Chains A and B, each alone.
Chain A
Amino acid sequence: MEITEADFSKLCIFVLDDSVFVRRLLEELLRSFEVGEVVSVATADALFAEMKRRTPDIIFCDWQMYPIDGLDVLRKLRHDKDLKHLRIPFIMLTGHNGNDEVQTALGEGADSYVVKPFSAETIMKHLLKVIARDRGALIREEVWSID
């Protein structure tokens, strides 16, 4: 079902991009959408440090960064024993639009893929797509007891 209205004030979105300009653009864009909290960082280390303080609802992440790129960040989120259970929705940002690149990102667990340059409408479209598809995350615990 198409989402035609939304209140994003309860969302916390992290932005990871090594470009000052792109970070500023996304911050202002997401704030104009009335997202409750927008946290932007320049490195993967800074992202994971912030995640020790709070868990984001969505992550926008640039692919082309050095030395740790967006694919490295995604792999850690999907495989790290302390993070993978959260299944945090992840939107990859990139300048490449080849089919191989798209399939690689989606295959590693990205929920969506945005090619730069992007517009306000494009970011909103991907935001809503990821929100609509998200099913949350569950933890199953097995409890042994002696009867």
Chain B
Amino acid sequence: MTSNTKIARAPLSSKIGGPGARPIAMLVKKGEEAVSQVRESFSDFLGEKLCELAKMRARLAPDREEAWQQFYTAVMDLRGSSALAGQRWVSSLSFSLETMLRERDPGDLRIGPVIASHMDAINLVISGRAVDDRSPVVLLSELSRAVDCLALKRPRA
């Protein structure tokens, strides 16, 4: 018996050298400009995401686990994307909602209005009608108090 060794894939370092190589610092600067430009398009994405979340919210019911999972994943996306776009308050409000969905019992009938309050708060902040920088802080505080009243998820048997 003999054994042959073949190259399935060459090391990546062999693919990045050569006369076309550019300074990393220059490429990072180009990257920062690209990120800035994409961030400017965030409001379009946000509008679509909020519509999607509204539709998903309408499908939530205590026994529809898949609907809750999809809603949770969409809220996580909103949180992460808004953080990437530098939208601090949208990200914070989404994080509050995300944490609530992860920790609280979907069977608690009070959860629906608390979800609605979170969505209203996000819409208020986006609209620019949250009067000043203190308003989102107040909103978060009130939402946190509402979440604290909800039942925790029961651990799975």
Contact = CB atoms under 8 A, between A and B. Distances in A.
B3 interface: yes
Nearest to B22: A5
A128 B8 contact: no
B15 A11 contact: yes
B77 A7 contact: no
Nearest to B85: A21
Contacts, number: 163
A18 B75 CA distance: 12
Contacts of A89: 12
Contacts of A86: 8-9
B131 to A, nearest CB: 26
A103 interface: no
A26 to B, nearest CB: 9
A49 interface: no
Interface residues of A, number: 59
Interface centre among B12, B20, B48, B70 (most CB of A within 10 A): B12
A109 B73 CA distance: 24
B76 A21 contact: no
Judged by DSSP, the binding face of A is mixed
A6 B16 contact: yes
Q: How large is the interface on B (under 10, 10 to 19, 20 to 34, 35 or more residues)?
A: 35 or more
Closest 4 CB pairs of A and B: A120-B31, A32-B34, A7-B20, A136-B11
29 contacts: A3-B16, A5-B21, A5-B22, A6-B21, A10-B15, A18-B73, A21-B84, A21-B85, A22-B84, A28-B35, A28-B37, A29-B31, A32-B30, A32-B33, A64-B80, A66-B73, A67-B69, A86-B8, A95-B80, A116-B80, A121-B32, A124-B24, A124-B27, A132-B13, A136-B7, A136-B10, A138-B7, A139-B7, A142-B1
Given A6-B27, A134-B12, 19 more contacts: A5-B22, A7-B18, A7-B22, A19-B80, A20-B48, A22-B80, A22-B81, A25-B35, A25-B38, A28-B35, A58-B12, A87-B8, A95-B80, A123-B31, A131-B13, A139-B6, A140-B4, A143-B1, A143-B2
Interface of A: 3-11, 18-22, 24-25, 28-29, 31-34, 55, 57-58, 64-67, 85-89, 95, 116-121, 123-124, 128, 130-132, 134-145
